[in-house]
Amino acid sequence: MKEDILKRLKQSAVKEIPLPEYGENWIHYEDKAQQFASMMEVVGGQAQCVRAEELAEKIKEQELIKESRKVISLVPGSAVLDEILSRPHDYEDVDLAIAEAQWGVAENGAVWVDCQSLPFRSILFLSQHLILVLKKNALVHHMAEAYDKLKFEKQGFGLFISGPSKTADIEQALVIGAHGPRSLIVFLVEED
């Protein structure tokens, strides 16, 4: 029985992803968007650059939109909008949530979400899939720059998100979506 379980875990495990090699000047990137997209892929997510006027159409083209029964969008102009729910636990059956991020980090593919822009932070954790919208010019090179942007002027909640939810257990089996969204797409919006 144990061998059968381990065999099935090994078959379903995510393939090993090679880590990028960093040179001397790894802290500053010529193309932050390309670096961000590369790191987002490493951590199991996706990043796509879109022009502001294309955002709604690109979101509607996503296979996740077509497959989702319940979609919540907190992004104006995303062309997808369900009702805003009134209690944190009301988000338990959301298939896809669309929200805005405040900035992204090219170094590791993380995005900062200030939850004051959300009705409830539970939307980030209870939805099956997550799309975050980030202005391309809000990318920084590394975490030190990101930390410089953090301002805690009043009580609140914010977090860095890097790829979909994942966990690895003692058998070294990586499971995506165990404690939160099973997928993450970040749209990097280029404004003219």
Looking up residue 169, the CATH number of its domain turns out to be 3.40.50.10420
Model's pTM, two decimal places? 0.78
For residue 85, pLDDT over 70 is answered with no
> With contact defined as beta carbons under 8 Å apart, do 40 and 163 qualify?
yes
Are the C-beta atoms of residues 20 and 26 closer than 8 Å to each other? no
Residue with more model confidence, 45 or 176:
45
Please give the Cα distance from 59 to 79 (Å, whole number): 8
Q: State the pLDDT at residue 36.
A: 94
Look at residue 8 and tell me if it is in a domain. Answer: no
Residue 59: φ, ψ to 5°: -65, -45
33 is written with which tokens?
């968007």
Label residue 179 by pLDDT band (50, 70, 90): confident
For residue 97, tell me if it sits in a domain.
yes
Quote the pLDDT of residue 176: 76
Q: How confident is the model at residue 22, as a pLDDT?
A: 54
C-alpha span between 155 and 70 (Å, rounded): 31
The answer to whether position 113 is within a domain reads yes
State residue 79's pLDDT score: 56
- Cα(72)–Cα(83) distance, integer angstroms: 7
How many structural domains are present in the chain? 1
14 within domain boundaries: no
> Residue 181's domain spans which residues?
28-190
Reference 72, options 116, 125, 33, 112; nearest CA is 125
Residue 172: inside a domain, yes or no? Answer: yes
Residue 19 is assigned to a structural domain of this protein: no
Q: Is residue 46 part of a domain?
A: yes
Q: What is the CA radius of gyration of the chain?
A: 17
Q: Give CA–CA dist 180/164, Å, rounded.
A: 7
The answer to whether residue 48 sits within a structural domain is yes
Task: Give me the phi and psi of 151, to 5 degrees please.
Answer: -130, 125
Please answer whether residues 72 and 84 qualify as being in contact, where contact means their C-beta atoms are separated by less than 8 angstroms: yes
Beta bridge partners of 101: none
